[in-house]
Amino acid sequence: MKVLRSLDDIDYSFKYPCVTIGNFDGVHVGHQALFKKIVELAGMHDGHAIAVTFEPHPIKVLRPQIGLKLISTFEHKLELIKRSGVDFLICLEFTREFASTSARQFLERVFIRTIGVKELVVGYDYAFGRGREGDRDFLRAMGEVYGYNCHILGPVKVEGEIVSSTRIRELVTDGNMKKVRRFLGRYYQIRGVVRVGKRRGGPIVGFPTANILIEKEDLCPKVGVYCVQVIIDDECFGGVMNIGYNPTFGDTGLGAEVHIFNFQRDIYGKHIKVNLIERIRDERKFSGPKELRAQIRKDIDKALFILAQEKGLKRACKEEFQIKYSAH
């Protein structure tokens, strides 16, 4: 997949362009349906499947007071879209000035003159342009004017619920990782660089941990202990992660510590990925290291049982090792 960071980067003609547009936060199963459709249409016409997105997320620009927490980082979003088989991702910088562009101006400049769209695929509730005037009725009408086919996909439902980024954020903050996985079509993932922590995990508690900083703008799962899968370079490991404040030792800052099973290497400064499989329990304060150690042993036993039953771990590893993309 080639990533184009502006319209000025486009200096050639696309073959029978099949296009979708959206913010694609999380690249959930609803977004994946859009990508599947444009890839399918492109295959039928020997054309190109093209996704158009924005950076930063429009809400962060137009309503910064909300403090929107994204499901995936921009880097992760690129990787996930690449997996879908899309040929080109056009990423447009979103500014307040850009937001004032009318839907017709945007459509004519981006879809018609620059891309030359032949097939346009959007979700049932998507709209763009000033005042969200570029809705499905507008796109259908413009399709008749400019000669492209407009496909409106209905909502994707999981367990009777419409899948949306908003709902997924709610599920993540509730710690409902099983349902999050069904909505995302994959495990929810935390990423970070392993930093030097308090050095209590191994020497004091008996279980060494890798510490990851959770930033204020990160979408943080509910505080507690989780069964996880850890990806380091080209290897995957099971583990248990505590997300919280370490009340046993009187800490106050939010952090994430993961004990990786059967792992003893020094990974300080290493970038790791952690897939959250299932929430095991609440975080709580213990009387001291001895009581905490006993509880961690129970957590490990439970995590090992969960991992032994989990069927998606090998697939998750395989997908992570096939995420290289071409950026221009």
What's the pLDDT tens digit per position in 286-308? 878 888 889 999 999 999 999 99
The DSSP annotation for 58-94 comes to HHHHH-GGG----SS-HHHHHHHHHHTT-SEEEEEEP
CATH 2.40.30.30 in the chain: give the residue spans. Answer: 187-323
Kindly give the pairing relationship between strand 271-281 and strand 224-232: antiparallel
CATH 3.40.50.620 in the chain: give the residue spans. Answer: 2-156
Tokens of 288: 């001291």
Q: What is the pLDDT of residue 207?
A: 84
Neighbouring C-beta atoms of residue 302, cutoff 10 Å: 16
What number does CATH give the domain 2-156?
A: 3.40.50.620
pLDDT tens readout for residues 18-41: 999 999 999 999 999 999 999 999
pTM as predicted: 0.91
CATH superfamily of 187-323: Riboflavin kinase-like (2.40.30.30)
328 pLDDT tier (thresholds 50, 70, 90): very low
Q: What is the pLDDT of residue 267?
A: 92
What mean pLDDT comes out for the span 142-169?
A: 97
